[in-house]
Amino acid sequence: MNKEQLNSIDHPIFAESIRFIQSQLGFTGLDPLQQQVLERIIHTSGDFSLKDLIRFSPGSCEKGVSSLLEGAPILTDTAMAAAAIAPMAKRTLDSKLYSALDWVPEKVIPGMTRTAVGIERAWQHLTKEFSGKQAPIVVIGSAPKALDDLLQLVLAGYISPSLIIGMPVGFIGVSESKMSLSKSGLPHIRLEGSRGGASLASAAINALLRASFFSKKNNTYR
């Protein structure tokens, strides 16, 4: 990869920040792809304690990269997450990007959240549109109910996401939804406890988009 291509992905200040983060983290025991996800969420949050909260299902990062390279679209739970992913998606693989809120009807049934309704409708639509191709990667940073409903759709027979980044933030239903994700057997990356948010979930997929771009150019994750 030439310098122009590298600079289109990594701003010099970002690169310097990552070197600093690496110097402070020391040995983590993570593989290279997992390490990049961790470094990016720490860069986004300024919080080194996230190293103790992040969890990866076996092969989740590799599955994310391979799916992105094969054209998997990305579905987010909020417009905020989609906006945070869009620049990296454009600069790397030009992956298709959707927000579940695009499918929310004007009126939502009482007791249902807008995002949960959107996730269900989006999943029904996208799995038909991408039938026979790589299933979407789902990025959830705000809505635990949307994560729960997605898992229920899979149990009901809908196709499984290529990868779930499950980092809803908050206190009501959040830990429970992450526990369900941990037991689902689906490829996923999650943050334990109440921590999360659109910025952290977006940082995780942005790390995989960057790794996918490097892999495509140089057959390497760095």
> Which residues, 6 or more positions from 97, have their beta carbon under 8 angstroms from its beta carbon?
73, 74, 76, 82, 85, 86, 89
Query: Which DSSP letter does residue 101 get?
Result: G
Q: pLDDT means per 10 residues in the chain (222 residues)? A: 53 94 96 98 97 98 98 97 97 97 87 89 93 95 96 96 98 97 98 97 98 84 57
Catalytic residue among 11, 43, 125, 188: 43
pTM of the model: 0.93
| Residue located via tokens 């470094």 | 39
As a dihedral over the C-alpha atoms of residue 143, residue 78, residue 119, residue 125, rounded to 10 degrees, the angle is -170
Task: Identify which of 94, 169, 95, 88 has the alpha carbon closest to the alpha carbon of residue 137.
Answer: 95
Tokens of 120: 């269900």
Kindly write down the DSSP assignment for every residue of 176-188, as one continuous string: HHHHHHHTS-S-E
The pLDDT score that the predictor gives to residue 2 is 41
43 has catalytic annotation: yes
Q: Which domains does the chain have, with CATH numbers?
A: 3-218 (3.40.50.10230)
The pLDDT score that the predictor gives to residue 12 is 92
